[in-house]
Structure 1
Amino acid sequence: MTGTEASQTFRLAYVPGATPAKWVRIWNERLPDIPLTLLAVPADEASEVLRAGDADAGLLRLPVDRTFFSAIPLYTETTVVMVPKDHLITAADEVSVEDLAEEVVLHPLDDVFDWDRPPGEPAFERPATTEDAVELVAAGIGLLIVPQSLARLHHRRDLTYRPLVDGPGSGVALAWPEEATTDLVEDFIGIVRGRTVNSSRGRTAPAPESQGKGGDTASARRKPTAAKTTGRNPRGGSGVSKGAKRRKPRRRA
């Protein structure tokens, strides 16, 4: 890890479709004195934001440059096809790449999938953004393949989507510059991985003093051991064992 942070603020970048809300809530509960700032960034600019030091970590779409970034894969999204609600594809519960062979499939410039071009017939030109492509789907120009989170993000009442069973997946990861693994980054890693507040790698509250008078520690205190049998009753009696038989007194002659 590097040294102590110059400013006690944690900046988290996230790409469209990523949902950091749960982890932000835990951060605010666990580290209320250290503000967490969210930075929404386009998917194709997220890596440069981290390289420039404008964010401490980010929720990015895979792949990322592993020669520069450390990354923890979090999940892989379901891939879907966005279509108009009256499209024939809506008659099926799911579709395959083969089902799209004769369809125009849009390929925006900010497409998050790592392929040369999507299946189906290409459009005359590529939309600049996924949002622009959604508008073209609504206009009946073509279909659009996206991660499910982006389909929900760009929801419209006149559009719907179906899972693409054999399409590529889009993985989301927590990534940060490897040489900038600060204490705050470690704290956020712990939250994402589900570590408790008392985890050895997490930031914990100071332990209470366990050392008593005379240098004896609390851990050194032991319960008193059972007393050894001495043959004497603790109350000053003769200490006759419970199971011993009593002799009858002799009669006087």
Structure 2
Amino acid sequence: MTSRNIFATCATIVGTLSTLHGAITWNAAADFHNNETSATELSNPNAQVPVWSYGYRESFASATITLFGTGQHSNAINTNVKFQGWVTGASVIVGTNVSAGLDNGLNPGQMLVHPGSLASNPTYNVVRFTAPTAGSYNIAASWFAVSTTTGTGLDGVDTHVVVNGASIYDALAAPGATKTTGTLNVNLSAGGFVDFVVGPGASGNNTNDSTIFDANITLVPEPSSTLLLLGALPLCFVRRRKAAN
């Protein structure tokens, strides 16, 4: 085998190992937008990326979720044809800008969530990630409380990250403010889940509670996989050197 052929074969092997054992990342906003702009928009869980599902519940720290049904899907939320997704009569919304331009402060592909009020049923908006395989997952999420209006009852939104029913992150995003989790690491079994939850602020009022949300979730490669990949590299260069001699 020639040096060039050996190098090409090794590159293929390393590339395959990288694909099989490398980090895999899911993006909440992009994955939701892709489903909403496809023929599978009525699917929940997300038919394009089935790790995601969308729903609501009455308390933020809970394992329960009621998924939005097909009758709760709208191609014109609040009569706006550029804004589509899921909505309940209590104003719990998971939507995205499906247009090619900025719309009401929402860039194309961005994801907007809106909770109900404490007096309504339901109250909390839930975007759920379900682990496709057991492993270590890094989570980074952000919420931007769009409205800058303040006043009685206009006190931003509660944001939470809930893992298998237990909250691991809680913060208030004040009007006009952004909250980010930094990187959170959790171990999940296959079928374990992470809920990104939004509710009204302490007043319970959900007026002006539109929130731009996004999250990246990354499956961290196992150490043995990384060692296997690193071990393949020197072997390839040794084979190439022998062939050259």
- Pairwise same-fold verdict (TM > 0.5): no
Report the TM range for the smaller structure's normalisation: under 0.3
TM-score (norm 2): 0.26
- Answer 1 or 2: which has greater strand percent: 2
Higher CA-based Rg? 1
